[in-house]
Homo-oligomer: A and B are copies of this chain.
Amino acid sequence: MNCPFGIKPRWERRKDARPQELLAAALDLFVEHGYAATRLEDVARRAGVSKGTLYLYFENKEELFKAVVRESIVPAIGDAEEYIASFEGPSAELLRWVIATWWERIGASKASGISKLLMAEASNFPDLAQFYRDEVISRASAMISSMLERGVARGEFKPMDINVATQVLIAPVLMLMLWKHSVGPCDQRILEPQAYLAQLTDMVLHGLLTTEQGGGGCADTR
């Protein structure tokens, strides 16, 4: 341990990695079993530490969960906000990017299980629901709205009720995440998320755009 040659002893290597490992373990188990049914002991065990260690990094179960959300979902929103703020191209392209990237980072990953979990357990854990509304839903909505407003401001999108349009965009993505974690495991034959989202984007753009510059896919959904 007092290694004079500056070689890091094995046990120290993990020092900073600990919280990450715990968050990863927690994400896995929360997604697999839900919030209430996930035992902190199992989280600790999966991360290879003891139950007590978990409490060194997270005040309690609720804070652990919040940390998981903050690590697995919130950054994607921040990145999207930045991308939108600095993007200079056509809004149609931006919208495509936002939706595709959202799916890649959240929908396709385990993080989407968090959304499903919250839908299932929100009523049992009002504090968690509140937190999720505050830090995820409203920020994500604001992000989408700002993107739409940009399109309208630049004359690329038709004038619209931004709030409603935001919901309309979010709904199918949410649904897809729900699907993936509820029916999906039983039956993968039906929905092809990527294709579904591409099609959705096209449909929306055909509706949103003032001219046909965003086009591409034929929006005959059937």
Contact residues of A with B, CB < 8 Å?
Answer: 32-34, 36-37, 116-117, 119-121, 123-124, 133, 137, 164, 167-168, 171, 174-175, 178-179, 181-183, 186-187, 189-191, 203, 206-207, 221-222
Q: How many copies does the complex hold?
A: 4
Residue picked from A32, A183, A190, most chain B C-beta under 10 Å: A183
Question: A120 contacts B121, CB within 8 Å?
Answer: yes
Question: A189 contacts B207, CB within 8 Å?
Answer: no
**A124-B34, A124-B37 known; A207 and B190 CB under 8 Å?**
no
Q: Looking across the interface, which residue of chain B has its beta carbon closest to that of A120?
A: B120
Question: B189 contacts A119, CB within 8 Å?
Answer: no
B residues in contact with A168, CB < 8 Å:
190
Question: A182 contacts B190, CB within 8 Å?
Answer: no
**A32-B123, A36-B36, A121-B120 known; A187 and B167 CB under 8 Å?**
yes
Q: Looking across the interface, which residue of chain B has its beta carbon closest to that of A164?
A: B189
B residues in contact with A124, CB < 8 Å:
33-34, 37
Docked CA distance A119–B187 (Å): 12
Question: B222 contacts A207, CB within 8 Å?
Answer: yes
B residues in contact with A222, CB < 8 Å:
203, 206-207
Question: A33 contacts B123, CB within 8 Å?
Answer: yes
Question: B121 contacts A182, CB within 8 Å?
Answer: no
B residues in contact with A116, CB < 8 Å:
120, 182
B residues in contact with A33, CB < 8 Å:
123-124
Q: Looking across the interface, which residue of chain B has its beta carbon closest to that of A117?
A: B120
B residues in contact with A181, CB < 8 Å:
119
Residue picked from A37, A174, A187, A221, most chain B C-beta under 10 Å: A37
Docked CA distance A119–B175 (Å): 13
Docked CA distance A191–B168 (Å): 9
Q: Which of B119, B123, B182 contacts A183 (CB 8 A)?
A: B119
Question: A120 contacts B167, CB within 8 Å?
Answer: no
